[in-house]
Amino acid sequence: MLKQKNLIFVGAPGAGKGTFSSLLLERHPMAHISTGDILRDEVKRDTELGREAAKLMNAGKLVPDEIIAGMVRDRLTWADCENGFILDGFPRTIRQAELLDEALKSLGKQLDRVVYFKVDDQTILKRLTARQNCKKCGKIYNKLFMPTKVENICDDCGSEVFQRPDDSLETAKSRLEVFYRQTLPLIEYYSKKNLLLEITELDKDRICEILSSELE
Ligand code: ADP
Ligand code: ZN
């Protein structure tokens, strides 16, 4: 069983952060904080933040650091974070990482591991443009690699699956570019802090075992 662990999942869009979060959460209940999910929820509820965020997201750009860091800071005060948490898709810039450090310090928490999902570009683009999400429960599928049993219908809840607007080829390419320019520097940032665990495609099938054993 995992002790209380505070984790960050870093990786290019489509590297598998969300998918492996779900797998790990099945075994180890902890808080799952996906900034992409939080933003998509704001968009759905048509809040002011949601309307601003939608423009940036659809262009493949990042939402401003201070806004996103404030959102995460609030979320980290929820009681479920006592069991540990996975930050999925945050931080994405050095500035966000610094703001996170400050937030954690003031909340008396610390990071245990930063998991970097390393995947090559061709695989990423192929995956992103074939990705589908369930409208209702959010489960992630892939037309090529992890299709639904019945075409376009979620295996779990029977609702329709759809392609995220930012998973079009053009937007996917800009998101990948943003990843290299703004997010990749985090690898060095966390490696210096001795927190980094790199996971490649080869480890994919053993990922839960690796994480579990690393995190005992
Ligand atoms: P993926 O990891 O597949 O790119 P996410 O669901 O994590 O997708 O994010 C979707 C979009 O939401 C991003 O392209 C960006 O516009 C916005 N977003 C999510 N997390 C952050 C963040 N930490 N900082 C800035 N923008 C973010
Ligand atoms: Zn579903």
Class for the domain spanning 6-215: alpha beta
Parallel, antiparallel or unpaired: strands 131-134 and 140-142:
antiparallel
Q: Mark whether 175 is an active-site residue.
A: yes
Q: What is the amino acid identity at position 133?
A: N
83-139 pLDDT tens trace: 899 999 999 999 999 999 999 999 999 999 999 999 998 889 988 899 999 999 999
Please count the CA atoms within 13 angstroms of the CA of 20 that sit on its side-chain side. Answer: 29
Tell which one of 10, 22, 35, 116 to mutate to probe ligand 1, the residue whose CB is within 8 A of the most ligand atoms.
35
User: Looking at the DSSP assignment, which residues form a beta bridge with residue 8?
Assistant: 87, 114
| Beta carbon of 57 within 6 Å of any ligand 1 atom | yes
Q: Across the strands, what pairs with 196? A: 114
What average pLDDT is seen over the chain?
Answer: 91
> Which pLDDT score is estimated for 55?
94
- Choosing from 17, 40, 127, 139, the catalytic residue is 17
Catalytically annotated residue among 5, 40, 131, 139: 131
Nearest CA to ligand 1 atom 2: 13
Beta bridge partners of 150: 153
Asked if 142 and 132 touch (Cβ cutoff 8 Å), the reply is yes
What share of the chain has pLDDT > 90, as a percent? Answer: 73
Q: How far apart are CA 154 and CA 138, in angstroms?
A: 9
Would you kindly state where each structural domain of the chain is located, as residue ranges? 6-215
Q: Using the mean position of ligand 2's atoms as its centre, give its distance from the Cα of residue 131 in Å.
A: 14
Burial class (CB in 10 A: 0-12, 13-18, 19+), 13: buried
Closest CA relative to residue 88, chosen from 186, 10, 197: 10
> Cα–Cα distance between 198 and 10 in angstroms, integer?
10
DSSP 145-182: TB--SBTTB-TTT-PBEE--GGGSHHHHHHHHHHIIII
Mean pLDDT of the 40-67 span? 94
The single residue of 164, 173, 193, 204 carrying the catalytic annotation is 164
Can you give the pLDDT at residue 153?
Answer: 97
CA of 156 to the centre of ligand 1 (A): 25
Is 35 close to ligand 1, i.e. is its CB under 6 Å away? Answer: yes
Contact 26, 142 (CB under 8 A): no
C-alpha span between 71 and 3 (Å, rounded): 26
**pLDDT at site 205:** 72
Mean pLDDT for 69-78 is 96
What is the 189 CA–ligand 2 centroid distance (Å)? 37
* pLDDT, tens digit (0-9, with 9 covering 90-100), for 171-202: 999 999 999 999 999 999 999 999 999 988 77
Q: Is 89 in the pocket of ligand 1 (CB under 6 A)?
A: yes
Is residue 19's pLDDT more than 90?
no
Q: Is 14 left (phi over 0), alpha (psi -120 to 50) or beta?
A: left
Give the residue, 46 or 211, on which the prediction is more confident.
46
Count the Cβ atoms, other than its own, within 10 Å of residue 7: 22
